[in-house]
Every structure is written in structure tokens, then in C-alpha cells.
Structure 1
Amino acid sequence: MVAIERGALILSILFVFASVGLKAQTTVTGTIIDKESKDPIPFVNVVFAGTTVGSVSNMDGNYKIQTTEPYTQVQFSFIGYKTVTRSIKPGEENKIDVRLEPEATLLNEVEVTVDNKREKYRNKNNPAVDLVREMIDHKRQNRIESYNFVEYEEYEKLQMSLSNVSNKFKERRLFRKYKWLFDNVDTTAIEGKALLPIYLQETISDKYFRKSPEKKKTVQKAHQKVSFDDYVDNQGLSTYLNYLYNDIDIYDNNITILTNQFLSPIADAAPTFYKFYITDTLKDVTPKLIELVFVPRNASDFLFQGKLFVTLDSNYAVQKVDMTVNKNINLNWVRELYVEQDFEKGEDSKYHVVKSRMRADFGLSKDRGGIYGERLVSYKNFTINNERQDSFYENKEQSSATAEAPANKDINDESYWLEHRHDSLSRAESKVYQNIDSLQKMPSFKRTMDIATLLLAGYKSFGWWELGPVNTFYSFNPVEGFRLRIGGRTTTRFSERLYLETYGAYGFKDEKWKYYLGATYSFTGKSIWQFPVKSLRVAYQHDTKIPGQELQFVQEDNFLLSFKRGVNDKWLYNDIWTVDYLNEFDNHFSYRLGFKNWKQMPTGGLYYTIQNNETSTTIQELTTTELSLELRWAPGEQFYQGKSYRIPIPNRYPIFTMRFIGGVKGVFNSQYNYQNLALNIYKRVYLSQFGYTDIVVEGGYIMGKVPFPLLAIHRANQTYSYQLQSYNLMNFLEFVSDKYVSVNFDHYFNGFIFNKIPLLKKLKWREVATFKILYGSLRNENDPYHNASQFVFPVNDQGVPTTYSLTNEPYMEASFGIANIFKLLRFDLVRRLSYYDHPEVPKWGIRGRFKFDF
């Protein structure tokens, strides 16, 4: 559920007006072959006659170009062949296959050798590959990291637009009130596309880099952006969009774009995955440049295709990059993707990037409306080897900001931006700030966004109060039967510092009320959702719970989770008082101090019983008081703040979480002394063309003599929803331990296998595989089979135990899944690999989840 909430919330604003409208387009497609050999010809220039609008043919000779302008002719040209011009019908789809005729050259003597075989591409004795290897060898000296000190000014512009906005679309009844907005459609920015800007953010920063010891510093001098404060997390939206449109370094081995890793055309392993061709030599510039064309050996791999312009001097540096991706790549929602970079020669004769532009067009289908996004980054005042003191990098308050632009301050003064932005805005872009501000003041737009927020996030706002989440209003379970719940919480319109939340629920089978009351106070004076948080929360809850069920980013009484496999009758009634203090720091280290008084009462098929010889004693309730400390460090962490959960945006850094819980006997009727220590480490490992792996390592140790409800009840899942951090074929309360260690592997192949299978690659499915292993044990003092004073493990209706400790054998399960089904669904075939002799346990299962990815 987390992925669908993240993607839906972030893109909901952008897709509000995106629909099926299509501006009348001229489309020309076809195949180009050699007239004599009948072989396809790659890299043929295909343009609308008299313009520079066009493309080149791919390795199979196929091409496609589009425009909304009324051009009537298309021109085909390639070195060594006669240029061909063909007529087309404007506003229609044109299919034109072309046979290019080699240019005739008169020679005194000609020797002709007929070879019907197409020459096989080889790396050996290939001057293009030799050039690439020189570039690889010189990468270190061409990177910014080769300097001891570097500083420069960076201007960033990130904009999103509705694309292919047709007149038919604009005339719909739904949008009649917004005709003034559609007057801002831009048909000049990108040939063949009608764009309506709906989001824009600009940032000017000073960047500093020190090589040894490595240190980076950013001083933000000015920032402005379109704001959707009432509906989404603006800071999180900016973070997520920058995550999609990542910084690009052509000298990196792997380039991350749209959450995927692409192998750079000058990566160390590039000659293994790419084909290279020298197509031109530019002799009228200094130094001379080589035009180098590169294409993937396998068109379905996560690779680029395009051109590099390489300097023919001692640097072998990149002077210009123009590249895109093959349309056969399994990129979700992405119709087009382009990367352009320009480099400039510095005073030290080395080349550094001065402009980087990335463009992407998203949509549900090839031709209908969608979202166009562009990130432009330009660099000025590039200075090298300007040594600064260590204190400069450590002092975050120190800045080089000008008087007109204080550091880290939003600036909406257009006169400042006219003077300082590196690149001027288009007419349409210059109006987007005012237009979106006016749009959000319209009652009809507010109603539309309220409905979108209700459907996607589950909350309906009523100003200072919001009702939700709606997916918990109705559910059912064996203990409560039919359960109704209603609740809500205050918003920042009520108070920036104080946040209140409550709900009430009623079970029609047990005929009991459940409820929750909570209050959170923010010491920062900002929302309790705004990083960094410093808050105190006090809450009381009287409700039901399944022992051992811990869900990620999902409410436990979600309606869809009411459907469970097997026997699900072991529940608890809980009375829980909590006091929680959270303090987060800018470096993403945080600590949490907690107090918890917990009274648990077994219900349904769960009983707390002590069996001593022939005497059986039933315990009606168990009370504990706990003091806790949690330390968390997530270096470089980025996230999107949803309506209910903070949703992390994975990066290459690990996340460490350590928890200590101490039970204190005698405090507020607490019955036990114990100490619980646990450590969790999460790391995403990127494997370039082979996808990425999420690894979670966790271990814990409980000191003290406690009954099974206070042991580590391992996370089980009896729902049909695949839970990443739970054991999906383990029964609730099946295993308990007082010491354990577990490792989870979730590998995402990103279509690496399916993309090479002709029938499957059209579906754009993606393979996933998981493996989970859990080791644990139980000391004799906590094992009811060795200590008669402990609670007896639960049993089923036949008196067979259903709770166990892990023996010398670990619990294991593995799965293979297919993701990206209909671009939203993932299904896993899960196999349990141990402990088959336990009652009511399945060996196989199919589980599904929503997953929104690019």
C-alpha cells in the first residue's frame, strides 16, 4: 500500500487535469533499408523538410517522428546515400518505408566483392571502442573530484506540464471555468507537444567541494515554487521530483534516473553492453571533436542510446551529450526520456558541465494526454582550488548569499529572479506561479482536490478538522464481527503546535466499544509532520489487536485486510497509555523516549494459562509498564510525508535503528522486570543492469524471565496482501523467541529477464524474488515446557500447540513474483521452506500488493 499512496499522492496534483485529450498530430513511422542489400540502415537522419525537427533510425532501421505543425514533407539523409524526400498528410498517421540508394562515384578502376553477409560488430580493432577505452582511462582526471577544491553557482529549474492538451479536452464541461488557464498552453517549447505548465520550482545555490577529507556544502541563496500546501507535502513533493530527476554525471558508471539505474556509455563495462560507431569528425573547432554514436547491444536493457562529442586532445573529455532511451525498455509510464549536457573548457584546459537538461514524458498510453517534466540545471562562476578553512564546511550558518537574497530564504521577488536566474522562463512558465495561485482560490478546484484527497489519501478536510481514514470505516474479524469505525484529527488550521486525533469503533459481535484519544504538541512551532520534528505525544487506546501482526504503512483495521487465511481467533483487548517524546536533528539522527503502560486481556481462542502439575490457572489480564529509548540514524534520508505515514525515498545509505525497552515491575501495576534490546539495519544495494536488492538485517535479545506475550513474537501475516517485512506463510503467534537474528532479501530485476523474452517484454512485467531466514531460540526459564510457572503456549480446538520456539532449524520462506501488472500490481508465489509439521500451515501461497513505480 505504501507505494500506491506515495505515487498517487505525489502525482495526483499533476494528473488532475491530465486526460485523454489529443492535439491533432502528424506522425510518420517506417523502416529504412539499403536499396541494394536490403539491410536496415541505422542512424539515418529523418526530419521534416526545411526544419531541424526529427530523429534518427535505430539499429533495425525503424524511425518515428511527430509534430503538430502542418509540415507536408519528410527528408531522409545519410552519408554515402542519396537524400530522399517524401510527401506526407498533415494531421494524420503516415507509414513510409524508404529504400536509400548509395551515391555513385566514378572511379578509374573498381573491384567489387559480393558478400551477402552483414558484417558482424566487434570490439576488437574497432577505433570507436578504442576511443571509448581512452575516455574510460581518462575519467578520473575529467571529474570534479580530480580537483582539491571546487566551487560554483548552480541554478535549477524543475517544471511539470500537462502534455498533448487538445481543443476538445479544453472544451469539456468540467473545464469551462478554467478557460483562462488553458490560454497559457505552450506549443513552442517542445516541437510536437502542447504543454500547459502546472508546477515550477527554481533554486539558486552556491556549491562547494573539498577533495580531502571529502566534504560538500550547499548554500541555498534563493528558492521559489508552486505550492499545494492544502493537499500535499510540498517539501516532500520537491524531494521526490528531484529524486526522479536526479543529478547526472556522465562519468559515473551508473546513472540513476526515475528510480532506475542506467549504465553510462562510458562506464568501465560500457564496451560489453554498448555498440559504438564514429560517425563524424568536426575539424572546424578547437580541439577537434569526434561524433560518437552509441546504441545498446540489447535494446531492452537499461541503457542509453545517442551521441557523444569527444575532444581529440590529451583529455579525451566529453564536450556534449545527447542521449535517450530505447522505447523497448521496461520504463513504467514513461513515453519519452531525453538527456542533454553541454561542457565548457576551463582555464585549466579541462572540461566541466555548464548545462544539464533532462526531459521526460509520462502517460498511460502512447498518444493520449499525460505529464511532461523537465529539469534544467546550469552552472556559473566555476572556480577551482580556492582553499577554504575547515570551519567553513562545518558552519552551516556561514554563507555567500547576497544582501538581496539571504541564505535559505524563499524569494518571490520577480526582479531578483530576472537578474539572477541563469536561463529565462518561457512565456507560459512565467505565468504558472500566478495561475496556480489563482486556481487554488477557486471553490470548484478545492472541491475537486478534496475528492482526490479523499480517494487517494483517505481523508476529507473540513477546514480545521479532517475525517478519516475512510478505509477503516468498515471491517470485520472473528472477535468483533462486523466493525464500524469513525474518526478524525485536527489540521494546522486548528493549531500549528497542537494536534488532536481520535476515533471510535463498535463491534456488533462482541457488542463492545473501542476508542482512541491522542494529543501531540510540537516544540518547533511547526506542524508535527514537518522535518525535523520535536514533539511530545500523549495517547490512550482501548482496542483489539492480533499478537505478532505488525504492518507497514497500513492501518490494521483496513477493510482489505479483513480477509485472512486459516484460523484467526487469537486476539487481545488492549488498554494502552503512552507518552512519547521525539527529537530529530538536521543530520537525520533522532532519538525517541517512551513510556507505555499496557494491560492486555486475551480473547477469542487465546488464553493465558499456567499449568502446574494437575492445577490449571487462567490469567485474565497481563499488565506491564515500559520505559523505552530508540536511536535512529538515516544519513542522507529523503522522504515524502503522507497523510498518515512518512514514506521513505530509498537511497544508497543504510538506515540504523536501535531500540531498548525496559519493563519496570511495580510501577502502575506492572508485573514483570525485563530488558529488550533490538537492532535493525536496512540497506538498498544497486546492481546496475541487474536491478537492486533491499536487505534488512535484524537481531534482538530479551533479558529477564517473562511469559510468551512479552517475548519477541515474530511478524506473521495471514492476510492475502504481501507484507515486505513479515513472514507471509507464518501464522499469527506461531513463533516466539527471547533471542533471534533475521535477514530478508528482496531483489527487483526491473525486467532484466522478461525484457529478453519476445512475448513477455510487451507486457512490461518485472520480476521480483525474495528470501527470508529467521534464527531464534528460547532459554529454559522462558520455555513453559521447562518452567511450569510460565504461561502455557496456545493450542487449537484439538489441544495441539500452535505456538513454538525456533529450534536449531531456521524458519525460511522464499518467493518469486511478477510486478508491474497493469503498471500497479505485484503478485508473489510464496514457498514456505521449513516447519511443515505445524498445524494449519500452508507450503504455498499467492500474495498481492499495490506497487507504483517508474
Structure 2
Amino acid sequence: MNHLLRCISYQTVLFLSGLLFLSAGLTRAQVTTVTGTIIDGATNQPLPFANIVFVGTTIGISSNERGAYTLTGNGNFVSVAFSFLGYKTVTKSIKPGISQQVSIRLEPDAQVLNEVVIRKSKQERYRNKNNPAVELIRNVISHKEQNQIGHYDYAAYEEYDKLQFSLSSLSTKVSERKIFQKYKFLLNNRDTTTLPGKSLLPVYLEEKVSDAYFRKDPAKEKVIVKAKKRVDFGQYFDNNGLSLYLNRMYSKVDIYSNSIFLMTNQFLSPIASNAPLFYQYYLADTLTIGKAKLIGLNFVPRNGTDMLFEGKMYVTLDSNYAVQKINLTINPKINLNWVRDLQIRQQFEQNTDGRYYLSKSDMLADFGISKGGKGGGIFGQRTLSYRNYKTDEAHTASFYEGSPQVVAEDATTKPDVFWVENRHDSLSAAESKIYTNIDSLKRMPSFRRTMEALTFLLAGYKSFGPFEVGPANTFYSFNPVEGFRLRLGGRTTPELSKRYYAETYAAYGFKDQRWKYFLSGTYSINNKSIYQFPQNYIRTSFQRDTKIPGQELQFVQEDNFLLSFKRGVNDKWLYNDTWRIDYVHEFENHFSYSFGFKNWQQSAAEALLFKTATDNENTPSRTLTTTELSVEARYAPNEQFYQGKIYRIPIVGRYPVYTIRFTAGVKGLLNSSYNYQNLTASISKRFYLSQLGYTNVAVQGSYIFGQVPFPLLTIHRANQTYAYQLNSYNLMNFLEFVSDHHASLSIDHSFNGFFFNKIPLFKKLKWREAVSFKALYGGLRSQNDPQQNPSLYQFPVDALGTPSTYTLTKTPYIEASAGVANVLKFFRIDLVKRLNYLDHPNVSQWGIRARATFDF
């Protein structure tokens, strides 16, 4: 079910899963693990946020809000130190290389008690009312606007962005094995300082230096990328898509926003407007840095299973009530896949105007299959650094026009000396070797052979340099018309030409004994790959093949083997001969338009007939020929894509997508039989609801002007497979409903485990709940109704003469579903119910549908 993967491309699966399983297989290290609970010796209550560290190292951790901790490190450690401000430090001996429990009591230190703000005893029931910690956080919340860069009429700063991925917990013995000798230059490049207790092998790095500009009224941002560089894995990965995906996983964190988007999920900020309803706050300690007096504020979720942070912030005790420093982490109980540890550390510096601006943001995440941080995994770190803040430089309105991000022409060709001078911080010794190591790796024949095998397995294409064969999942399929069907095809690659492309396939059905084939040629006007954004090309094509009426599948080909399995009666097909000429032009601002020419010859196949009311039984089924001219406009602001081998899959974001299409049939042009016009428009958008998950909403409508037979009406998108299809009606039969005007509404909501996380069994399974609702309203004017116009093709009937195609009445077609997502971390299973039109033949009131997904 590769074709149904949502929000991820095959290259990203290849990159992440490959690294994850590789690191798991290579892990061999001696691990010392200490767990336990820290108790306040004065109150006998758990002591949260105490410090635990292996003596003589920088490997440490803090206890959680329940005073519990788990400290893990690779090495032969013999003692652990426990400390907390205002308490006496305690050192305990431990046994190296094993797992053990050490629980202790920390006694107050009378000599430093006067430096500590007294914490409210946790024996008392927590309340917001008359709570000084809550009063403090409410002051922080009320001053949020003045502490953001958007408070100024104009602002500018320089940003340095570094994103790095590594294999974690690799044994030093790996590089000594004979099979890995040729990769020794890569395996010996370890980092043992970034993540205490773990050995990291860097495999991916990207850097960017930018100037950012902001205008308050009207709100507008402009980013000029001065320089950027990244690891290039060559043809085996969509390097742009991989970069987009990794940056989306490690999104920029703005603690002053109500919601923080991380790992495809939304977390409520501890200083969100309604944060006191979801968090508990505790005063911790005070600090003085220079002339600034700061107060420490610990925060923990009220419910440990919600998508919330825990951690500590320091707030300035002046009129700003600004955050000067904050550390965020997550509770291990929350419903996140693969993430074993997540830390976010941010620092703010005071500018000349007295305000505090973000100076550095560091996000670290450890991914792995095993739990508890043990075993191999993938470690990722994104570091953002800011400097040269200016709040008094105005720019003209024309400066902000055009694309919100501009990349300098020489951004990717900056010399090494530029990076040495302009990095806000130097690379580590291990990071500095990543670029050259990966360049050497991708030139190795053994690496290329391995990647080609994985590409064929996951994407279905086998490359032969300038030409590739595939996709593999269409080599074999079956259907009622063709029976057993074999297909073989391929296409040229950019290695042959970035200007000219060709694609072809040939297929043979052993039941109908007919050949089907396809041939296309594409010319890239902007001399860039036609599979990459922004597209600008013209394509001509001819296709002779079978088709289910009304099926316009996304991100999958109809002869995919897995779609051969269908429920119910599926005996109405078409033979199509289609000539096309298409022109597509996309712009950097994500507006696009296209023009199309299509000559389409439809012949009925299997049980489908094209006959009028005046035809008799011996009249042969007719052939319908039409010629269409079309124009489409689409606007998807800030849209990003995952680029697959076959399809470019949009990343669903918070911005709406608008599409409008106009098609005109021209009678007499190349034997076209009808004059008609079809206007279709749609809007789709994702709404993020913080702790309650997110909702995908899509609205569509169309209207056909003129008189046409049913094959040219809107044949509503049905689904008779067992896979859940987002853009189809999953309990509607093929060719069941047709309309010449319609409006539809689709709502799909994911709660992200908000309710299941509070149910013990579901919480352990990390299942997530989802619901959907689809409604279709439409109709058929009398001029297009074959019962009132005998010259039109009659609606299809079954073998007994019972109608199998209908038009919608005043009652809309409705179906709803309730689903369980994140089953085995990859699948969503829905129980779908059809709510009306149940008197139609061969329909199901209930159905179970599944689809593959990939979410964190």
C-alpha cells in the first residue's frame, strides 16, 4: 500500500527507515543504566527537576515532575551525583555496565536556603487561584505581544540555520568488522560530545545563512537566503523533498505562539493564552545574570498523556516579564511514534532597547525502535542562531513584493572561506567531515547497488542511467475486462536530458486479447526536471487503455496490483483512446495555471453499453468521441511537496488550496459529438485545533452547461476497493451516481489520541481516534435525463434490467466513519457507514476500510 502513504514520500521512508534499521543492527555497546526516585528529605515528597549526573562526565539528566529519573550512558561509570539548588549534594556508588535502581533523599542545605524561593508543598491540592506561580505566568502571557518581534513596525535580523542527522549508539567495534572495512572512513567519524552517553555518526548536514525582514502593517515577511549548502545523496533521494521533510519535523519553535508544531503534531506552549488550564506551574529558584534578576518556573502537564511539554523557564523580574531562557522536553507517556527523547533549549538576549530577543534555539530528538533510549537509533539536531537585530530600518512596499523567500543566485556556490566567516558557530570535528564523507560514499559501487535495490523495492523503479523501468506494482494486475494483465514500461531520466522527457508502457490482457499502450513526450521550458517545483512544460501523449468510468485516482495508478481486489459487482468498464496536449506553468508564489487539449474516444466494455432508448437489442454499442479544451488555475500559498518517483505529493499545511477549472467540449472538432461547458471549483484547508488534533475540510462544486450523455456527466468518485480513499465515497459503487451540477463537503478529523490516551489499554497501544463525514448534493436537469430525452444514452442496468446508475434527489448522499489510526504505527482502520440510498442494488450499509499512513 505504498501509494496510500500520507504526508511522506518514498525517499523519506527510505532515508529514515534505512538509517533506523541500520543503526539498530550495528549497535553493540556496554550500557550503564540507573533508575530511581528522588525524595525531598524535609517533606517526604518527590523532588522534581533535580540533577543527576555520572561523576566525572557531562552525562546527566533531570528528574521528572514525579521525582523519577532514568540515567543511561555508554561506559563503565562507578558513581552518580544527585544535586538540587538548596539541597545537599549526594554521591552514590554504582556498578558499571548493568541496570540498577538508586533512590535517595536530598536534605535541605540551611546555608543556601535564603537563596531559594520557597516551593509550595505538593501535599496541598494544586490550585490556580492565589498561586504565585500562576500569577507570574499570567504576567508572562499578558506581555507576550510586546516581547515578540511583531511588536515593532519594522524588524530585521540575520539567521544561521543548521540541521544535522546522525546514527546513534554505534559500537566502536563495527568499523573493525571485515564487511565494513571499506566504509571505515565514514564509521570512524564519530561524535561523542553532543549527546552525552551516546556515540553519534553524522550522515546528513545542511546549513543556511539568511537575512530576515518583517513589516507590521500590513504584515509581511521577506527572507533573503544568502548562502546554503547540504549533503547531496544523488539520484537515490529527492534531496529537496528530504530537506523539506526534515525541516518540517524540526520546525522552528516560537514559544510565544499558542501552539508549537513538531513531528507532525501540535503541542500547546507553556505560555499559551489558555496554558494555565493544561499546565501546573511551580516557583523554583532565583538567579541574577548581570543586572537582570530572573525567577525559575517549573511547569508540568496536568495530564501526562496530553501533547504538552514539561520543563523550566526563567522569567525576567522587570516590566517585560520576558522569557530569558527555557528548556522543554516531553513526557514519555504521550502518543508519539519512534521519538525516544526530545529537548528544546532556547536563550534570549537583551537588546539595546531593553527587550529580549531569541538568540539561539536548539532542538534535539532521538528516534529509535527500542524503548528507553537503548539500542541504535537516529539522532537529529536543529540549531538556529540569531544576531544583528534591527528594529528601526524601514523598507519600501516594493521590497516585500513577490515571493516571501528569495535565494541569492550564488547561494549554493559560496566558498569555504565564506562559511568559516559567517557561521554563527563553528562545526564540530565530526560535522566538518560530513560533506566529503557522503560524496565519497555515493561514489562507491557497493553503496550504489544497495540503494538501487532499495529504490526498486520501495519505489518500484530500476534505473539504467538515462532510462528507468517501472513501476513494479503495475507489472501484474487483473480486472473483469482483461483478466490477467501484464504490463512493462519506463521513462527517461534527467541523466539523458533535463529538457526532453519520454514515458511509455505496453500492456496485454489475456482475456480480451488486446494490447494497450501509452506514449508521451515532454519538453521542459525552464530546463529543469519536470518532476520538481516549479514546473513549466508542454506535454503530448496518446493512451489506449481500459478505465473504470469516473475514476480519477490520486497518487496511484489504476492498474496497481493492490487495487485489483474489489468488492461487489465491477463489470462496467471503458476502452479509451485519448490524445492530449497539456501546458503547465507554476510560479514561485505557488500560483499555477494550465491549458489542455483532449480528444477522447470512449467505447463501452464488459457489461456497459452506450445505447439510446430507440436502439434494439441487436444495435451495437456506440462509440463516443469528444474534443475538449480546458484551462485551470490553482493557488496554494506556501505549499511544499514530497517528490516521489511517480507522484509529487503535497504536504498538507495550514494554508487553503484553491482550484478552478473550466472545460469546453467543441462539437465537430475532430469528430466531437457535443457542445458543452463544465465549471468546477474547490477549496481545501487543514484546521489545527491544538490539543484536539486537526481537521481536513474540502468543499467542491461543479456545473455542466449544455446537453450531454451520461459518460460526460460528473460521475461521482466511488470506491469498491478495500482501501480507504480520502477523495472518494468509500461505500458508493462505481458509476452509481451522475450529476450535471453538484456540491460536496468532506470533513476528516484526527484527535491525535486525545481520548484514547486516557484509556489504559489504548494508551499503551498508542492508538489514535479519527472521524470523517462526507456529503454529496447534486441533481440532473431534464435536458440531461435520458428518461426525458430518448436521444441520450440510457443509464446502465444490471443483467436483470434493474437500474445501477442514478441521479441524486433532494436528499444528499451521506456517509460517515469512525477510525482507529496508528495501528502498528502505520495503519488507519475505519468503520464506514452509508446513511442513505440503501435501496439501490448491491450496496453495503457498513464497511471496513484501511489505509497506510506515516505519522509521528
TM-score norm. by structure 1 comes to: 0.95
Contact residue 552 and residue 723 of structure 1 kept, 8 A: no
Pick one of 778, 781, 784 that aligns with 1:776: 778
**Residues 1:766 and 1:239: Cα distance change in structure 2 (over 3 Å):** same
Corresponding residue SS for 1:86: strand
TM-aligned CA deviation for residue 415 of structure 1: 1.4
Aligned to 1:445: 447
1:370-385 equivalence runs, <5 A: 370-385=377-392
Matched, 1:309 2:292: no
Aligned to 1:57: 63
**Residues 1:605 and 1:484: Cα distance change in structure 2 (over 3 Å):** same
Contact residue 82 and residue 90 of structure 2 kept, 8 A: yes
**Residues 1:116 and 1:318: Cα distance change in structure 2 (over 3 Å):** closer
Pick one of 15, 32, 53 that aligns with 1:47: 53
1:384-441: CA deviations, max 9, x gaps? 1111222222377999x9xxxx655203521111111111000010000000000000
1:274-353 equivalence runs, <5 A: 274-283=279-288, 285-353=290-358
**Residues 1:173 and 1:603: Cα distance change in structure 2 (over 3 Å):** farther
Letter in 2 for 1:370: G
Q: Distance in 2 between matches of 1:137 and 1:739?
A: 51
**Residues 1:791 and 1:284: Cα distance change in structure 2 (over 3 Å):** closer
Corresponding residue SS for 1:42: coil
1:436-469: CA deviations, max 9, x gaps? 0000000000001101111111111110000100
Contact residue 2 and residue 647 of structure 1 kept, 8 A: no
**Residues 1:318 and 1:38: Cα distance change in structure 2 (over 3 Å):** closer
Contact residue 299 and residue 328 of structure 1 kept, 8 A: yes
Aligned to 1:160: 165
Contact residue 611 and residue 617 of structure 1 kept, 8 A: no
TM-aligned CA deviation for residue 52 of structure 1: 4.5
Aligned to 1:393: 400
Q: Distance in 2 between matches of 1:173 and 1:712?
A: 63
Corresponding residue SS for 1:560: helix
Letter in 1 for 2:494: T
1:572-600: CA deviations, max 9, x gaps? 01000000000111111010100000001
Q: Distance in 2 between matches of 1:471 and 1:282?
A: 63
Aligned to 2:35: 29
Q: Distance in 2 between matches of 1:117 and 1:31?
A: 16
Q: Distance in 1 between matches of 2:716 and 2:454?
A: 37
Corresponding residue SS for 2:413: coil
Aligned to 2:669: 667
Aligned to 2:217: 212
1:593-643: CA deviations, max 9, x gaps? 000000011111111111139888543211100000010000111112111
Contact residue 403 and residue 588 of structure 2 kept, 8 A: no
Q: Distance in 2 between matches of 1:745 and 1:721?
A: 18
Letter in 1 for 2:816: A
**Residues 1:116 and 1:456: Cα distance change in structure 2 (over 3 Å):** closer
Aligned to 1:426: 428
TM-aligned CA deviation for residue 51 of structure 1: 4.4
Aligned to 2:116: none
**Residues 1:720 and 1:172: Cα distance change in structure 2 (over 3 Å):** farther
Aligned to 2:268: 263
Matched, 1:360 2:360: no
Contact residue 7 and residue 853 of structure 1 kept, 8 A: no
1:226-282: CA deviations, max 9, x gaps? 112311221222122111111111100011111111101000000000000110011
726-735 vs 64-73, which moves further: 64-73
Q: Distance in 2 between matches of 1:364 and 1:229?
A: 27
Pick one of 357, 376, 399 that aligns with 1:369: 376
Matched, 1:654 2:674: no
Letter in 2 for 1:94: Q
Q: Distance in 2 between matches of 1:398 and 1:163?
A: 34
Pick one of 74, 78, 83 that aligns with 2:80: 74
Q: Distance in 2 between matches of 1:566 and 1:11?
A: 34
816-825 vs 45-54, which moves further: 45-54
1:507-656 equivalence runs, <5 A: 507-612=509-614, 617-656=619-658
Matched, 1:746 2:748: yes
Q: Distance in 2 between matches of 1:350 and 1:34?
A: 37
Q: Distance in 1 between matches of 2:681 and 2:122?
A: 62
Aligned to 1:719: 721
Matched, 1:197 2:202: yes
Aligned to 1:110: none
Q: Distance in 1 between matches of 2:179 and 2:571?
A: 50
Q: Distance in 1 between matches of 2:239 and 2:121?
A: 61
1:473-512: CA deviations, max 9, x gaps? 0111111111111100000111110010000111111111
Letter in 1 for 2:71: I
Letter in 1 for 2:249: L
Q: Distance in 2 between matches of 1:7 and 1:575?
A: 32
Aligned to 1:793: 795
426-435 vs 36-45, which moves further: 36-45
TM-aligned CA deviation for residue 33 of structure 1: 3.7
Unaligned runs of 5+ in 2: 114-119
Corresponding residue SS for 1:608: coil
Corresponding residue SS for 1:230: helix
**Residues 1:78 and 1:397: Cα distance change in structure 2 (over 3 Å):** closer
Corresponding residue SS for 1:520: strand
Contact residue 207 and residue 217 of structure 1 kept, 8 A: yes
Letter in 1 for 2:396: Q
Q: Distance in 2 between matches of 1:751 and 1:138?
A: 32
Q: Distance in 2 between matches of 1:450 and 1:695?
A: 39
Matched, 1:118 2:120: no
Contact residue 584 and residue 592 of structure 2 kept, 8 A: yes
710-719 vs 761-770, which moves further: 761-770
Letter in 1 for 2:682: N
Corresponding residue SS for 1:426: coil
Q: Distance in 2 between matches of 1:294 and 1:368?
A: 30
1:689-729: CA deviations, max 9, x gaps? 00000111000001111111100000000001110010000
Letter in 2 for 1:454: F
TM-score norm. by structure 2 comes to: 0.95
Contact residue 599 and residue 627 of structure 2 kept, 8 A: yes
**Residues 1:27 and 1:116: Cα distance change in structure 2 (over 3 Å):** closer
**Residues 1:540 and 1:172: Cα distance change in structure 2 (over 3 Å):** farther
Contact residue 317 and residue 351 of structure 1 kept, 8 A: yes
Aligned to 1:111: none
TM-aligned CA deviation for residue 98 of structure 1: 3.0
TM-aligned CA deviation for residue 152 of structure 1: 1.0
Q: Distance in 1 between matches of 2:44 and 2:491?
A: 70
Q: Distance in 2 between matches of 1:657 and 1:766?
A: 31
Letter in 1 for 2:719: N
**Residues 1:316 and 1:104: Cα distance change in structure 2 (over 3 Å):** closer
Letter in 2 for 1:421: R
Q: Distance in 2 between matches of 1:582 and 1:165?
A: 48
Unaligned runs of 5+ in 1: 108-114
Letter in 2 for 1:591: Y
1:770-826: CA deviations, max 9, x gaps? 110110101011112222222111111221111000001111111111111111111
TM-aligned CA deviation for residue 99 of structure 1: 4.3
Letter in 2 for 1:332: N
TM-aligned CA deviation for residue 171 of structure 1: 4.8
- Fraction of identical pairs, as percent: 59
Matched, 1:243 2:248: yes
Corresponding residue SS for 1:354: strand
Aligned to 1:147: 152
